[in-house]
A and B are shown apart, each in its own frame.
Chain A
Amino acid sequence: KEKHKILHQLLQNNTSPGDL
């Protein structure tokens, strides 16, 4: 988890199509 902190965060974020 620590090694892939940003990827982990991106996977957890709730983003909607408008956020992209």
Chain B
Amino acid sequence: QDPQLGHNNVSMGELDRIAQNIIKSHLETCQYTADELQQLAWQTHSYEEVKIYQSKPRDVLWQQCAIQITHAIQYVVEFAKRISGFMELCQNDQILLLKSGCLEVVLVRMCRAFNPLNNTVLFEGKYGGMQVFKALGCDELVSAVFDFAKSLCSLQLTEEEIALFSAAVLISTDRPWLMEPRKVQKLQEKIYFALQHIMQKNHMDEDTLAKLISRIPTLSALCTLHTEELQAFQQLHPETVNVLFPPLYKELFNP
């Protein structure tokens, strides 16, 4: 085999170019740099602040979370736009991939802003535990999201790996109704080869990529659970959703 060729006859040079483009796109579109997160990591919401979150009306906290999620999604859209090849897909497929994958990418990115040592996540400027979200009335979803973040953190991924994994989650042929699935598949394959290439360089343990891929069904299950909780919430608080939720959030999750 030609040593200049990497996986599946994609040259090593091309794999490097793909990886560098995605890493750059990720770094340019993260809400917080790794340094900023490091500095904030031990700034936690005080006992009094947690009590205030817990005593908020359910619909108020839902609205606050919807705003935070929508903000994070806008950065994911920018990430997607900067991935070479994404804007060359037809518009239908760009919208479809983002609609079905943006929340999954937000969840992957969330592991950067999760402190596994005290099980807290960055929310509205400080870190807080699951109890911050108690008033949402979605204990199962919140607990599953925290479990997912903790399990992803345990893989100790580098920024490069998080970048490539985010792209692999987004550019997925598993999404129904794609108009050009072959084009998406070609892009997805290159991203996976680039991810494999980077992981082989960084990890001695060859299982890390397999472990990472095995987390994808959990991501999908979390998004389904989010949709179900949103539907249940909307039945009780239709006005809050219709009037106060961000338009982009409503457009994406279509309650």
Residues of A within 8 A of B (CB): 1, 3-8, 10-11, 15, 17, 20
Contact = CB atoms under 8 A, between A and B. Distances in A.
B77 A10 contact: yes
A7 B102 CA distance: 11
Nearest to B77: A10
Contacts of A20: 28-29, 75, 78
Contacts of A1: 91
Given A4-B95, A5-B251, A20-B78, 9 more contacts: A6-B248, A7-B77, A7-B98, A7-B248, A8-B95, A11-B91, A17-B28, A17-B29, A20-B75
A11 B29 contact: no
Contacts of A6: 247-248, 251
Interface string B1-44: 00000000000000000000000000011000000000000000
Interface in B112-136: none
- Interface residues of B, dominant DSSP: helix
B77 A11 contact: yes
B178 interface: no
A19 to B, nearest CB: 9
B94 interface: yes
A11 B248 contact: no
A4 B73 CA distance: 14
A3 B92 CA distance: 12
A11 B94 contact: yes
Nearest to B75: A20
8 contacts: A3-B251, A6-B251, A7-B77, A7-B252, A8-B91, A11-B95, A15-B81, A20-B28
A2 B99 CA distance: 14
A4 B81 CA distance: 16
B78 A15 contact: yes
Contact of A10 (B28, B74, B87): B74
Contact of A11 (B28, B81, B247, B251): B81
A1 B87 CA distance: 16
A2 to B, nearest CB: 11
A8 B98 CA distance: 10
Contacts of B247: 6
Interface in B75-94: 75, 77-78, 81, 87, 91, 94
A15 to B, nearest CB: 6
B7 to A, nearest CB: 30
A13 B247 CA distance: 17
